[in-house]
Structure 1
Amino acid sequence: MNILVLGSGGREHALAWKLRQSPSVKGLFVAPGNAGTAAVATNLPLAVDDFDGIAQKVKAHGIDMLIVGPEVPLVKGISDFFLNHPELSGLPVIGPSKAAAQLEGSKEFAKAFMSRHGIPTAAYESFGPGDLEAGYRFLESLKPPYVLKADGLAAGKGVVILDDLDAAKAELRSMLVEAKFGEASARVVIEEFLSGIELSCFVLTDGKNYKILPTAKDYKRIGEGDTGLNTGGMGAVSPVPFAKGAFMEKIEARIIRPTVEGLQQEGLPYVGFIFIGLIRVGEDPFVIEYNVRMGDPETEVVIPRIESDLAELMSATAKGRLDEVELKVRDESATTVVMVSGGYPGSYEKGHVISGLDLAGENAVVFHAGTQRDDKGNVVTNGGRVLAVTAYGKDFTEALEGSYKAAGQLSFQDAYYRRDIGFDL
């Protein structure tokens, strides 16, 4: 089987790393990939939303399955593109239809979907540019802090939480009238603030059957103690210690099953991963958001814990036979620590040589996020998030010792990583 993975980050490196272990995988390609994926697969220089270019490579390399990593091509309809392609309509694509991808592409759509199917989430209303005064009134009806979410994709920056009412009103105006996030904030969802501890639940579905993958918790803020600006993710742990027993039963009964059944009932074809961002309030789970793909850096702790053959799981998913395969998960915990470029998530430099990649140790795996090779063959920095250092342990504290030990062997100019991942557990 020849597989093409779409994307260029740590998530795609982790997927390719796991797929390479499958005896059924003959050719493995990543587009556009990075220096890490190049060690386990063949990188193809393609933009993730260049559908025609991707189709040409699918034909040229005899690709039997396409696994889509990031959200943008899914929201833009890559699954529909291949389904309607005159020559490639039979290509299995791991990723939902454009209509189903609205679960991530539109916060308003996702909230309305949850409302229709009785899935627990924060109370909300949505507003357009002509609804500014109504938006102000809704803000006045809420208690602080105030949560404002750009309806569309905003590269992880479209959620703003403010304690001051006047500041929240100004932010609403900035998003709606001044187009702070461009088209993404043409509509804004305002919702009540839920206080609790967050976690992520991952589901693999063929549209009817589903498997619940290991839970994870990521850490978004740049600073220790969850302070400072939001990032794409500074680290993650799996499993989440409190996500077990009765609490997981509530997640499946109240959230996972109604989500999969709701997609079926509404005729929204969905083959792939569902990422459910959750918050535990007391002993009850509520949905913060849906993503229609695996998270990053959560993939770097979830995928290494899966013992099953990933290619076999993907194939069963594509064929609608997910109920016929077993999902085996390692008992050990996994953690990842993300090493970032100095200045991130603001401006940062690229092109710094990375050293120590061969010193990480046997119990750690270094997944590349923002890397490439320079003209001298050196692996150099090529992004804000550069490396995700994953290790195993009998629990997350032991695993973190391994991640930090390995991270200590790696270096590049102005490298930074948080030293408190898992502090709240």
Structure 2
Amino acid sequence: MKILLVGGGGREHALAWKIRHSHLCEQLFIAPGNAGTDLCGENVDIKATEFDKLADFCLEKEIDIVIVGPEEPLVKGIYDFFKKKSSTEHIHVIGPSKDAAQLEGSKAFAKEFMHRYNIPTATYKEFTLSNYEEGVEYIRNHPLPVVLKADGLAAGKGVIICTNRLEALAEFELIIQRAKFGEAGKRVVVEQFLEGIEISVFALTDGINYVLLPNAKDYKRVGVGDTGPNTGGMGAVSPVPFADDVFMEKVKTRIVEPTVTGLKKDKLEYKGIIFFGLISVKDEPYVIEYNCRFGDPETEVVVPRIKNDLVELLVATSQQRLNEIKIEIDEQTAVTVVAVSGGYPDGYQTGKVIEGLDDSIIEGSIIFHSGTQKVDDKVVTAGGRVLTVTSFGDTIREAAEQSTYMLEQIYFDGIYFREDIGYEFK
């Protein structure tokens, strides 16, 4: 099969690495890709949201399947774009329709969906400019901490946990009155703060059937011990130690199955990954958020643990044959540690030469590129999150130490990474 993978981050490098090993993969293209995906296939200079160019490219290269990595093209309707054109409707597209992608694209839509299908989540109310004063009063009387969420996509920055009332009211005003998050913040979800341990659960669904993939836990805060500002993710572990059979059975029966059933009942076309951002509160799972694609950096620990041929899985998804599939998982633990540019997630510089990539490779570890670019014969930084190292081990401590050791052999000006990923489980 000829395959087009859309995206250019660490998630896409991990997917490209896995796809390259498929016996079904005849040719792999990545749009736009990075210096790492270039090692797995051929990068194409087309942005993930340039649907016309992507469609033309697919027709030119006779692409059989399109795998969509990031959320923006899904929320903007890439699935519908391909399926509504007679020239491209035959191409397998992995991802939800535009309407179904609202599970990630609109916090209010997701909350209403969960409420309708009795899926456990935090209590909430939503507000816009039209009922702003009502929102102010609601926040004044809400127990602390309180969580404010911009309704739309806000590049991972649209969730604010407020520990005092003045902060909450100030942020509420900034989001709605002063457009802190632009269009994404025209509607704000104010919800109950749930205290517990977070976990990411991934289900692959064909719209009728589903299979569960390995679970993971990511680390959003930039500083050691989960301190400092939120980032796109500083590392991840898989599997999560507390997610035993009893807990995962609750997840399946109370969350995953009602979600898949709800999508079908609402006639929302969905052939792809459902990412359940969960929190365990006294061993009871609650949904914090849905994503409509693989997470990053969770993909870098989840995908390497899947023993199945990924392309076979995705074709079965497109053809609604997931009921025929049995998922096989590597029992080893995987830990990924993310190396970022100095100053991230705020101001940071790019174009820094990366050294040691070829010298640092050891058995049981994989380097995945995120924000990198090839310039002449050198690999340089091209983003805040630059690369990740994923290692396998019998324990989280063993895998984390190996990933950290490998990153110590790599250098670029301003390199920073957390050395405590998985700290609470070591």
Q: Sort the TM-score into its range (normalised by shorter chain).
A: over 0.9
Alignment of 1:237-276 (within 5 A): 237-276=237-276
Q: Find the aligned partners of 1:95 and 1:308 in 2 and give their Cα distance.
A: 19
Q: With structure 2 as the length reference, what TM-score do the two structures score?
A: 0.99
**Distance apart, 1:130 and its partner CA:** 1.6
1:73-112 alignment, distance < 5 Å: 73-112=73-112
Partner of 1:364: 365
Partner Cα distance (2:57, 2:327) in 1: 31
Per-residue CA deviations over 1:67-104 (Å, capped at 9, x if unaligned) read 00000000000000001012011111000000000000
Contact 1:360 1:410 in 2 (8 A): no
- Report the equivalent of 1:405: 405
Point out 4+ residue stretches in structure 1 off by more than 3 angstroms. none
Percent identity of paired positions between Structure 1 and Structure 2: 55
For 1:111 and 1:275, locate their aligned partners in 2 and report how far apart those are by CA, in whole Å.
Answer: 15
Cα separation, 2, equivalents of 1:242 and 1:51? 41
In structure 1, C-alpha distance between the alignment counterparts of 2:251 and 2:140, rounded to whole Å: 32
Q: TM-score, length-normalised on structure 1?
A: 0.99
CA distance in 2, matches of 1:222, 1:309: 34
Partner of 2:349: 349
Mapping of residues 143-158 of structure 1, within 5 Å: 143-158=143-158
Task: Kindly state the Cα deviation for residue 133 of structure 1 after the two structures are TM-superposed.
Answer: 1.2
Partner of 1:141: 141
Query: Any residues of structure 2 matched to 1:190-201 within 5 Å, and which?
Result: 190-201=190-201
The CA RMSD measured in Å over matched residues stands at: 0.7
Superposed CA offset, 1:354-382 (max 9, x none):
1111122121100000001113x101111
Which residue in 2 is equivalent to 1:294?
A: 294
Q: 1:48 deviation in Å? A: 0.4
The one-letter code sitting in structure 2 at the alignment partner of 1:111 is K
* Alignment partners' CA distance in 2, 1:86 and 1:321: 24
Superimposed CA distance per residue, residues 320-370 of structure 1 (whole angstroms, 9 cap, x where no aligned partner):
001112211000010100000001101111111111111221211000000
Task: Tell me, in whole angstroms, the C-alpha distance in 2 between the residues paired with 1:152 and 1:310.
Answer: 30
Q: Is the 8 A contact 1:360 1:409 kept in 2?
A: no
> 1:34 maps to what in 2?
34
Instruction: Give the Cα–Cα distance (whole angstroms) in 1 for the partners of residues 337 and 235 of structure 2.
Output: 4
Shift in Å, 1:17: 0.2
Deviation per CA, 1:135-183: give whole Å up to 9, x if none. Answer: 1121123211110000000000000111111221111111111111000
Q: Is the 8 A contact 1:360 1:407 kept in 2?
A: no
The answer to whether the 8 Å contact 1:203/1:273 transfers is: yes
Alignment check: 8 A CA contact 1:3 1:63 kept: yes
CA contact (8 A) 1:24 1:311 kept: yes
Q: Within the alignment, does 1:374 sit opposite 2:375 as a pair?
A: yes
Specify the code of the residue in structure 2 equivalent to 1:12.
E
Number of matched residues?
A: 424
TM-superposed CA distance for 1:125, in Å, is 0.3
In structure 2, what is the Cα distance between the partners aligned to 1:141 and 1:192? 12
Matched, 1:21 2:21: yes
Name the residue aligned to 1:172.
172
